[in-house]
């Protein structure tokens, strides 16, 4: 089941965010960086509470629920890229699952809900950023119709993260 996230979900969103980064990005990001995320549960919970307070019909946090547990999330809204038109292009800012729930259909269900919300919000296209070396995520997105548009970035979180932008027609 997919539903909009609520404030009570914030601690679980933080937990999924941290554990999924640690699982998905092992070998892609420095181990000390990923290990340090374990100490950020309180900070991440506060971030999720802030994001959940943003009142915008086009911005949404969806959660995948396997009763009674939240097992994943998708955070989406208008594109933040300067070369894209935010009224026309919606962005999937983040999509993560509890690593124990990988390859059970929850990601595909979240992706379909993402497409539905973006279309219902009036977007004609979607965009997202993914680490260049993240073959598993890139394969997942490509299976759902996304394609690399050739735009690249070196996002910095105190570390360089080569990334590529993907797009999809809605």
Distances (CA, A) of 64 to 93, 108, 114, 157: 16, 10, 11, 27
- pTM, 2 dp: 0.93
Q: Which tens digits make up the pLDDT trace of 141-162?
A: 999 999 999 999 997 767 788 9
Which residues, in sequence order, are CB contacts of 82 under 8 Å at separation 6+? none
Mean pLDDT for all residues in the chain: 93
Q: Would you give the distance in Å from CA 98 to the centre of its chain?
A: 12
Number of residues that this document lists for the chain:
170
Q: Which tens digits make up the pLDDT trace of 49-67?
A: 999 988 667 889 999 999 8
At residue 55, the pLDDT reads: 65
Q: Which tens digits make up the pLDDT trace of 108-121?
A: 999 999 999 999 99
Q: Architecture of domain 2-129 in CATH?
A: 3-Layer(aba) Sandwich (3.40)
What are the boundaries of each domain within the chain? 2-129
Helix (H, G, I), strand (E, B) or coil at 115: helix
Going by the DSSP 8-state scheme, the letter that residue 104 receives in this structure is S
């Amino acid at each position: 089941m997919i539903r909009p996230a609520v404030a009570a979900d914030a601690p679980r969103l933080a937990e999924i965010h941290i554990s999924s980064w640690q699982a998905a990005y092992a070998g892609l990001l420095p181990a000390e960086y990923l290990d340090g995320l374990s100490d950020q549960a309180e900070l991440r919970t506060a971030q999720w509470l802030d994001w959940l307070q943003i009142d915008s019909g086009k911005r949404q946090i969806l959660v995948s629920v396997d009763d009674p547990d939240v097992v994943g999330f998708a955070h989406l809204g208008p594109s933040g890229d300067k070369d894209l038109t935010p009224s026309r292009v919606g962005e999937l800012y983040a999509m993560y699952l509890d690593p124990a729930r990988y390859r059970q259909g929850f990601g595909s269900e979240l992706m379909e809900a993402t497409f539905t919300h973006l279309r219902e919000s009036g977007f004609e296209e979607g965009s997202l950023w993914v680490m260049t070396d993240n073959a598993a995520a890139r394969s997942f997105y490509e299976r759902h119709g996304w394609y690399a548009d050739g735009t690249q970035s070196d996002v910095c979180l105190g570390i360089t993260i080569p990334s590529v932008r993907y797009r999809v027609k809605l």
